[in-house]
Structure 1
Amino acid sequence: MHFVINYFVLLALVITCDVFAAPAKKNIVFHECRKNDPKFLQCFQTEIQNVLPSLNDGYPKFRIPPIDPFDLPGLEITKGNGAVAIDLNLQKVKISGLTSAQIQSLKVDVNKFEGYAKLSFSKAINLVGQYTAKGKVQVLAINGKGPCNITLIDPIIELRDMKGEPVERNGVRYLTLKNIKLNVIKVGKIILQLDNLFQGNPELSRNLNVFLNENWELLYEELKPAFEEAIEAIVKDIVVKVLTKIPVDQVFPA
């Protein structure tokens, strides 16, 4: 039996994802997982995992945009206080690798509409776009702009404090997203290339890129909050739009 997209299916899907969807190239099938089934959670996790690779091109019926790559208009990383203190602004960013998410842990309370998920990725998460940067690395002042390529190797993220709440509209109950928190809990390595960090001095730019890659942990603390905030905002925006189309009884059938 086939079934429309479940609530926490979408939460897991969109994190691995501008809101305009391109036509899907294939039909996406979601099999029903009934909440009273003793194997509900196992079924639920299997269905989420099975559908993730099919979402590269999005799913217009539920307003899911193309996910791999995902187009992000901008991403800001504000200056820190450490050895690497950079205001980094990324524009026209394409994020790839998101549909390679592998579910490590999943918990769902179907009565309280609460959930938790922990995911790893079988592919690297890659961000490509244009950047502007001002700040300093050690004692070197930076004022650069140009192409950028940032790759997160073996990231692990968690979606916690996921909370939905039913609301009634025209006599039908729907879910609204009340809360969700995304955390990057681990990254194996960061590889980056920021061209033209020192305008007019390509050799110094190359040397600084080498330094940043050798000391990527310094940059990681700068990147982490912005990455979390951006993906969390995507989750909230897409899930809220999708949930307006799905009655509660279809989200969690008895």
Structure 2
Amino acid sequence: MRPLRIPAVQATLSFILARWMQFCFATIRWTYENQSVAEDVWDKGGGVLCAFWHSRISLAPASWPLDRAQPAKALISLSADGQFIAKAVALQGFPAIRGSSSNKDKADRDKGGAQALRAGLRQLKEGALAITPDGPRGPARQMAEGLPMMAKISRAPTLFIGMSCNPAIRLNSWDRALIPLPFGKGAIVWDVAHYPRGEDLDAVRLDWADRLSTVEARADEITGLEP
């Protein structure tokens, strides 16, 4: 049995990871760019989609101030690794909706996508839903259609969030996931979009993938993190 499938191991590692992330967030020197677009969304309230690439999921709680932003939930995959991450994120105030925003060519495998879509749309009636649109297994930085589909149906704004920190640990995973280290430089960069009426879903998906990569690249530029 894989260690992450053992509930006691999951709980212990999730607790350690959550506390480590909180310690790093408190000691990192953060730079915020284009924060006004996020503040406008927070001030208006209501539903909002939050998008960031899967490799930066460990930095996500640092981008969402619980004291002023909408209550948020995170769409986390049904895999054992997803359960581990879901618990770590939940310990920081972001409960999970379990499921996947899979591509069409993966539709023959039931990953709870339909249930997650319904639960996500319910969440968007009152708060924020965080999505990694290239998760849970990639390809890295290629957006699945789940995010633009939710934006189209809900008409909620979408915040693209680029996050970086330096120094950091890069895992040997499909997405080269980033784990923060303390006392370094951090950056959070925002952009915002609404689903354009009448636009083709695939065209929006490609455009939004480029915009999300742009804010992430800008955050890496600020911190000096190598691509």
Fold match, TM over 0.5? no
Q: Say which structure is richer in helix.
A: 2
Q: Say which structure is richer in strand.
A: 1
Q: Which has the larger radius of gyration?
A: 1
Q: Which has the higher contact order (CA 8 A, sep 6+)?
A: 2
Q: TM-score, normalised by structure 1?
A: 0.25
